[in-house]
Amino acid sequence: MYTRLLTPKWVLLHLLVVALFVATFFLGYWQFSKAEAGGGAVNWSYALQWPLYGFMGVWFYVRMVRDELRRDPDADDPGSAIVLYQRPRIDTTGDPELAAYNAYLAELNERALGQRSSNGR
């Protein structure tokens, strides 16, 4: 279950989150030292905001990890029910101008698909 979080992508993401979390506290300390040295209200506010940014990032990261662990790993595997192309439906029930525009777009789509298949692709 937790082996999905040990892939190279996730390990790099773990390390990045830890580094950024630590960096926010260094930045908060730096702003705090500037505020104590006679800085204004902006320095005091940033001294409080940087650690909050760090905790907010960790909170989002924990949610992302939780979603990854709850996700079905077989959902990524392509199945036999894949629809490669589905003809767009034309809405003819509402505005006649919109219906005419949708019909025009469908005609352009058919022409583009016809040219693509005749080129041998």
Distance (Å, whole) CA 121 – CA 108: 18
Question: Residue 88: which pLDDT band, with cuts at 50, 70 and 90?
Answer: low
Mean residue pLDDT across the chain: 82
**pLDDT, position 52:** 95
> Is the model's pLDDT at 29 over the cut of 80?
yes
> Is the model's pLDDT at 110 over the cut of 90?
no
Question: Per residue, what are the HEC states of 5-17?
Answer: HHCHHHHHHHHHH
The ranges assigned to domains in the chain are 2-76, 83-121
Full-prediction pTM beyond 0.85?
A: no
Summarize the confidence of residues 34-63 as an average pLDDT: 92
Contact 86, 109 (CB under 8 A): no
